[in-house]
Amino acid sequence: STLDVILPEFLDFVDPEDLVVGHAIGDNDLLSINLALMRMNHQNGTNIRFCPRYLDTVRLAQQLLPKRKKYNLIALLESFGWHSKKKHRAFEDALASYVLLECLLEDSAEKPDWLPDLLTRQGGRELVLQYLDYEEDAH
């Protein structure tokens, strides 16, 4: 099947040390990937699992911003002054989720030491600005 081809290629692309951010991929996505892997493992006699480090930006936003009414990616990003140029595209949503994570943790003691800061990395801010607009006065 197509999944038998695509899933191993996806796992070759994604390093086990990579970070997965919640608005970009959810609990159901991780479960679906692992169920598909279980089927493949059964057929192939392998034992492959997908268990990346995972931060759920929805839950984090609910903890840090408890009085908000909407916790969707677009609404949360806009509250920090970021606007997506294209909505509901995999790469753009993944990038937007990471920017949201940085915004949520910017002044927080909860920010893990291992979390890279995309916006201050060389070329990071330029990459983000290809896909997101920023309004300085928004927050």
Average pLDDT over residues 114-128: 86
Parent domain of 119: 2-138
In this prediction, residue 45 carries a pLDDT of: 92
pLDDT tens-digit readout, 125-135: 999 999 999 98
Q: Say how many domains are in the chain.
A: 1
Q: How many other C-beta atoms are found inside a 10 Å radius of the C-beta of residue 135?
A: 11
pTM of this structure: 0.73
Residue 75 Cα distances to 95, 103, 108, angstroms: 15, 13, 20
Collapsing DSSP to helix, strand or coil, 36 comes out as helix
